C-alpha cells in the first residue's frame, strides 16, 4: 500500500473539515493509499509537517486548505520527486483555479490516484517560495489587516469589508520596481507566477507556473478611481486593466522592489502578509511535482 500524508487547515474556508478529512482517509485506504491525518496548528506548520514526513518513504502529499497552506507544503517539496495534490478548501483557492482543479472534494481527491503529473516552478521572495504571486502595497495591507472572524464566517464577503476600508485609506506609496536592471516607478505592484489572482480574476494573462520568468504588474497612478478600475479590469478577465494605460506587465527573471517612502511597504506572498520591502524575487531553479487534471489538449487528443 502506498503511503502519503493529508495536511489540512481546520480553520480554512467556512467549514470545520475534520470529519470530511477522516472520511477521505478511509476512502483512499480503499484505493490503496494510506494517508496520515495531519492537521496544521499555525503558520508554517504545513512546511514542518512535510519536512518531517520526507524522512520516510512517502508517495504523495495531499493538502486541503487555502493557498497559504498549499504554498507552505510546496516549499518543503521543491526539488523532490514527491507529488503535491491540491484539494481546494480555502476562501479563494487561486492555484486550484489556475490548474483547473474541481472544488468538489470527491472529484478533487481522485487526483491522488489518477492525476496527471505536472512540473511547475516556484518564485522565491526574500528566500520564501511562492507559487502564485507576491503583491506589494494594497493587497498586502488587506491580507494583513483582515479579520479572521469575518473571513471564517462570511468568506469573500468578509474580505470585502477590509478591502473597502484599506482601499479608502491607501496612500499610494512610491515604489521603485527594478526588473532585470531596468527601473519602473509604481504605487502598487504584483509579481505573478500565475495568471489568476483573488480567485478567478486575471492579473497577468501570459503568466504560467511552468515558465522560467515572472510577469510583473506595475500600477503607477495616484488616483483612487484608477485603482478601482484596475481591480475591475482584473475581475473582467479580459485584460482590461492593461489596456487602460495606467498599468502594464513587464516580464523578467530578477525583480527587486524598494520603498521610496520613509517606511517599509507590506508584501503578501500567496495571500499571506508576511514580508515587507525591500523585496527581491526570482524563479527558483528547483521544481515542484504536482498532480492535476489532464490538460484539455491531452483530453481531446485521447
pLDDT band at 301; cut points 50, 70, 90: very low
Vertex 223, ends 219 and 228: CA angle to 5°?
70
Model confidence at 277: pLDDT above 50 = yes
Domain ranges of the chain: 2-114, 129-284
Vertex 92, ends 122 and 83: CA angle to 5°?
40
Tens digits of residue pLDDT in 213-234 = 999 999 999 999 999 999 999 9
Cell of 300: 481531446
Report the DSSP pairing between strands 60-65 and 2-8. parallel
Model confidence at 139: pLDDT above 80 = yes
Query: Which CATH number applies to 2-114?
Result: 3.40.50.10330
pLDDT band at 246; cut points 50, 70, 90: confident
Model confidence at 297: pLDDT above 60 = no
Of 59-73, 148-162, 222-236, 249-263, the range with the lowest mean pLDDT is 148-162
Vertex 112, ends 108 and 115: CA angle to 5°?
80
pLDDT band at 13; cut points 50, 70, 90: low
Angstrom distance (rounded) from CA 177 to CA 37:
43
| Class of the CATH domain delimited by 129-284 | mainly beta
pLDDT band at 199; cut points 50, 70, 90: confident
Angstrom distance (rounded) from CA 163 to CA 138:
9
Judge whether 137 and 187 are in contact, CB under 8 Å: yes
Please state, rounded to an integer, the average pLDDT across all residues of the chain: 90
Amino acid at each position: 500500500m502506498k503511503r502519503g500524508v493529508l495536511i489540512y487547515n481546520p480553520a480554512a474556508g467556512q467549514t470545520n473539515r475534520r470529519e470530511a478529512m477522516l472520511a477521505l482517509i478511509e476512502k483512499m485506504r480503499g484505493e490503496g493509499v494510506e494517508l496520515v491525518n495531519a492537521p496544521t496548528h499555525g503558520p508554517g506548520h504545513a512546511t514542518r509537517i512535510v519536512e518531517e514526513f520526507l524522512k520516510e518513504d512517502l508517495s504523495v502529499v495531499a493538502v486541503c486548505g487555502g493557498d497559504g497552506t498549499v504554498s507552505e507544503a510546496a516549499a518543503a517539496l521543491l526539488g523532490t520527486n514527491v507529488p503535491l495534490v491540491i484539494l481546494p478548501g480555502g476562501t479563494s483557492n487561486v492555484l486550484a483555479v489556475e490548474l483547473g482543479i474541481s472544488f468538489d472534494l470527491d472529484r478533487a481527491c481522485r487526483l491522488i490516484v489518477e492525476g496527471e503529473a505536472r512540473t511547475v516552478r516556484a518564485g522565491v521572495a526574500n528566500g520564501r517560495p511562492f507559487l502564485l504571486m507576491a503583491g506589494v502595497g494594497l493587497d498586502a495591507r488587506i491580507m494583513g489587516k483582515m479579520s479572521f472572524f469575518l473571513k471564517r464566517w462570511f468568506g469573500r464577503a468578509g474580505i470585502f469589508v477590509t478591502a473597502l476600508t484599506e482601499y479608502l485609506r491607501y496612500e499610494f506609496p512610491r515604489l521603485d520596481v527594478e526588473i532585470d536592471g531596468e527601473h519602473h516607478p509604481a504605487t502598487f505592484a504584483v509579481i505573478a507566477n500565475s495568471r489568476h489572482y483573488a480567485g478567478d480574476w486575471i492579473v497577468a494573462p501570459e503568466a504560467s507556473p511552468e515558465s522560467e520568468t515572472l510577469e510583473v504588474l506595475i500600477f503607477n497612478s495616484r488616483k483612487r478611481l484608477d485603482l478601482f478600475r484596475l481591480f475591475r479590469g482584473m475581475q473582467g478577465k479580459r485584460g482590461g486593466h492593461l489596456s487602460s494605460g495606467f498599468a502594464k506587465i513587464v516580464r523578467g527573471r530578477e525583480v527587486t522592489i524598494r520603498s521610496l517612502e520613509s517606511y517599509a511597504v507590506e508584501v503578501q506572498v500567496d495571500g499571506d502578509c508576511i514580508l515587507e520591502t525591500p523585496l527581491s524575487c526570482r524563479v527558483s531553479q528547483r521544481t515542484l511535482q504536482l498532480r492535476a487534471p489532464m490538460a484539455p489538449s491531452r483530453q481531446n487528443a485521447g
